[in-house]
Structure 1
Amino acid sequence: MTVRILAAGDHFVRTGLLADALRAEHGGAPETLEIGELHLPWPVEPFGDVAEVHEASGTEEQLIEALQGVRICVTQMAPLTRRMLEACPELELFAVGRGGPVNANLEAATEHGVAVTFAPGRNATATAEHTVALLLSALRRIPHTHGELARGVWRGDYYRYEEVGMELAGTTVGLVGYGAIGHRVARILGGFGAEVLVHDPYLAPDTAPGVANVSLDELLARSRVLSLHARLTAENHGMIGAEEIAAMPPGSVIVNCARGGLLDYDAVCDALDRGHLFAAAFDVFPEEPVPAGARLLRTPGVVMTPHLAGASKQTAHQAARICAEETARHLRGEPLAHCANPAVLGRGGGR
């Protein structure tokens, strides 16, 4: 029996990585895999909305053509829209190699009996390491001093007491969110000797030994460093604003590698301008790409990277592997490990 699969890769989770992972996971199964390939332009071309889904790459027309006769699609960025589902009746499984399948219309997929899977934790280590790298860069002014030295300016005056940063050892760091990324950050910070506090209303008691889960008010009052690791929801949008920043000790640092919507960036700039914050470090922003002329670009003390925290070679391989594992489970008739629309399975979907 031949199973037609589409590997829709991009310039990060490459098509070849997806295809190789599918073959490796398939092993000696009786089915023959016929793997078609589609190369999407992300990140050379930014992702965007495609019909009713978000953060997608490619067009409905491209995918409809490529998915004819295909039972399984493995991808990171390809869209899955209602129009596509109506045009591709043989599709059974849409495996997305990212932490949340925002590029898939889950309601329409369930209606059409198509299971959608995702890849939680595939970039957790990369994002945790990047968070700490940004934190250290902000604490010790590494990008700023490097930039001046590269221009031939030796700034020995940065050794003045009011200009120097803090050590992580002995510093209280507050983490908002303690999921796959947050707990890795806590473990790394523990190696530096930092005291770690956590605020996570979804954290069950006794699931974080050695880490205190406190109220947001207590976390803000005690933390010299605040790092955000929560998933953005309607309830926590803008959860850190001017009032919360003012509650932090003077000379504090804020880091955000989660989602831009969690934080009021104008309030951060205000706090940096008046000296209440020592520095801030961001990998995510309220608008991406950051517009030319944005206030963040001219506010002193800000360290930025362009939403790259999860970008590592290991992340790409793990995304491909998780998609391939879900594909193998589906073909063996086993329960899926990371199904985003489990209602489809109870209706006999995901054929």
Structure 2
Amino acid sequence: MKVAVMRQDPRLNRLVVDTLEKEGVPARLFDGRADMLAKDDAKLAAIQVLFAPGTMVVDDALLARLPGLSGIVSPYIGIEGFDRAAATARGIVIGNGQIPESVESMAEGTVLMLLAAAYQLPAATAAMADGAWPTPLARGRLLRAMTVGIVGYGRIAQEVAIRLVPFGCRMLVHAPRLRAPLPQCAEAVALPDLLAVSDAVVLLASLGPDSRHLINADMIARIKPGAIVVNTARGGLIDEDALVAAAQAGRLGWLALDVFEQEPLPPDAPIRALPDAILTPHAIGHSVDTMQRLPLHALDSIRRVLRGDPPLSLVNPDAVPAWRARCAKPSARI
């Protein structure tokens, strides 16, 4: 067995396993971390590539049981479950699913959520479904009359900002590091300042130890009254209980959430009962274009690692020197 495939989307699992086996690459499907750890050391030592969702806990304890592991590949962008530092220290490269289609779909989906909240679209469609003809209908808010605060400025956030420019809104951005220039209509500010004046707060930061509950009860209290909150990044960025409490108290405007602290979201989760909330099941960026391309991208990354090349969408380039030494292939290219 060269490739360990962790159970995730059934179609994705089957496609990856079947394709690899047709190419003569032994692959095995595991039910999860516990299933893998229950196997004997000899079987685990043969694994060269781990194909897993980014939410799976891949820490140093697991990596220690996989001495032959050369690379970790996730089909998705988020990899908050992977201990990058531990993998890098062991000379293990990590590739994610940051393909153009995924970035663009996430950006479009995020703007869609913002517009749907700004125009209170679900309220109108729900009334029509109930047989009503609600009046007045003048509930929407022009984006050009709004200040939109963007938290995080990675590739998806950058694409969101590009798409918002034609609407004419003012943009505020908060990020630990700005890796790309801001549009002329945007400025970088501290998080409390962004929350205090933004008519819509859009969360697009990555999730890690430093950003978990970045929007905690204290920060939620700083949000401008009536502001829209959009989160298409990771549920753990927000203290969900505090968010629900603020919404129930009438402090916030519409919520537009694609991600939650617990997924799948429990049927009795209090956030489901909020009247002014747009909730989607962590799928706003799952366009047909993205889902067709992701498995092909992942398979290419797996093949690259097996032949001694770094994966596509490499996220820990610092691991390459030690990885090259382990692979004994100085000609490996990034």
TM score, norm. by length of structure 1: 0.73
Q: What is the count of residue pairs matched by the alignment?
A: 323
Q: 1:190 to 1:112 in 2, by over 3 A?
A: closer
Deviation at 1:286, TM superposition (A): 2.0
Residue of structure 1 in register with 2:33 after alignment: 50
Q: Report the more deviating stretch, 195-204 or 63-72.
A: 63-72
Measured against aligned partners, the alpha-carbon deviations of 1:136-160 in whole angstroms (never above 9, x if no partner) come to: 22222222322232232x142353x
In structure 2, distance between residues paired with 1:292 and 1:16? 29
- 1:207 aligned to 2:181? yes
Q: Distance in 2 between matches of 1:189 and 1:314?
A: 22
Asked whether 1:312 is paired with 2:287, we answer: yes
Give runs of aligned pairs for residues 247-258 of structure 1, distance below 5 A. Answer: 247-258=222-233
Q: CA deviation at 1:133?
A: 1.8
Query: Who is 1:290 aligned against?
Result: 265
Distance 2:239 2:124 in 1: 27
Kindly indicate whether the alpha-carbon contact (under 8 Å) linking 1:220 and 1:244 is maintained by their aligned counterparts in 2.
Answer: yes
Contact 1:13 1:316 in 2 (8 A): no
Structure whose residues are more often strand by fraction: 1
8 Å contact 1:226–1:254 — kept in the other structure?
yes
Contact 1:93 1:350 in 2 (8 A): no
Residue in 2 aligned with 1:236? 211
Aligned ranges 1:14-25 → 2 under 5 Å: 14-15=12-13, 18=16
What amino acid does structure 2 have at the position aligned with 1:188? R
Alpha-carbon distance in structure 2 between the residues aligned to 1:234 and 1:91: 25
What are the within-5 Å matches in structure 2 for residues 168-179 of structure 1? 168-179=143-154
With over 3 angstroms needed to count, the CA separation of the structure-2 counterparts of 1:252 and 1:50, relative to structure 1, is same
Structure-2 change in CA distance of 1:107 and 1:349 (3 Å): farther
C-alpha distance in 2 between matches for 1:115 and 1:172: 40
Residue segments in structure 1 that go unaligned for 5+ positions in a row: 24-31, 42-48, 52-57
Partner of 1:277: 252
Match of 1:140 among 108, 116, 119: 119
What SS is found at the alignment partner of 1:174?
Answer: strand
Greater shift, 68-77 or 213-222, is seen at: 68-77
Equivalent residue, structure 2, for 1:54: none
Correspondence for 2:71 among 82, 88, 93: 93
- Higher helix fraction (1 or 2): 2
Partner SS, residue 254 of structure 2: strand
Report the Cα distance in structure 1 between the residues aligned to 2:5 and 2:306, rounded to whole angstroms. 16
Name the SS of the counterpart of 1:233 in structure 2. Answer: coil
Residue pair 2:78, 2:206 contacting (<8 A) in 1 also: no
Confirm whether residue 216 of structure 1 aligns to residue 191 of structure 2. Answer: yes
Contact 2:230–2:256 (8 Å) recurs in 1: yes
Q: What is the rounded CA distance, in whole Å, between the counterparts of 2:40 and 2:289 in structure 1?
A: 27
Matched residue of 2:171: which SS? strand
1:150 maps to: 129
Residue 279 of structure 1 deviates from its aligned partner by: 1.0
Is residue 80–residue 207 contact of structure 2 (8 Å, CA) maintained in 1? no
Q: d(CA) in 2 for partners of 1:182 and 1:203?
A: 11
Q: Distance in 2 between matches of 1:19 and 1:117?
A: 18
Match of 2:238?
A: 263
Structure 1 pair 233–5 and aligned structure 2 pair: CA distance change class (3 A): closer
Matched residue type, 1:346: A
Aligned equivalent of 1:120: 98
| Structure 2 equivalent of residue 44 of structure 1 | none
Give 1:113 shift. 5.8
Match of 2:158 in 1: 183
What residue number does 1:346 align with? 322
Alignment gaps of 5+ in structure 2: 329-334
Q: Identity, % of aligned pairs?
A: 29
In the alignment, the residues of structure 2 paired with residue 249 and residue 85 of structure 1 have an alpha-carbon distance, to the nearest angstrom, of 45
Superposed CA deviations along residues 291-313 of structure 1, whole A, max 9, x for unmatched, are: 33332122221111111133223
CA contact (8 A) 1:9 1:38 kept: no
Whether the 8 Å contact between 2:30 and 2:36 is mirrored in structure 1 is no
Indicate conservation of the 8 Å contact 1:326/1:336, yes or no: yes
Tell whether the 8 Å contact from 1:73 to 1:93 is kept in structure 2 after alignment.
yes
Task: Tell me how far apart the structure 2 counterparts of residues 91 and 171 of structure 1 sit (CA, whole Å).
Answer: 50
CA contact (8 A) 2:79 2:96 kept: yes
Aligned to 2:332: none
Quote the offset at 1:255 in angstroms.
0.7
What is the CA distance between 1:273 and its match in structure 2?
3.4
Which one is further off, 294-303 or 83-92?
83-92
Larger mean CA deviation between 279-288 and 261-270 belongs to 261-270
Aligned counterparts of 1:173 and 1:203: Cα–Cα separation in 2:
17
Q: Is the 8 A contact 2:150 2:171 kept in 1?
A: yes
Q: What whole-Å deviation, never above 9, does each CA across 1:50-89 have from its counterpart, x for those lacking one?
A: 24xxxxxx75568999978664454547886778767766
TM-score by length of 2: 0.76
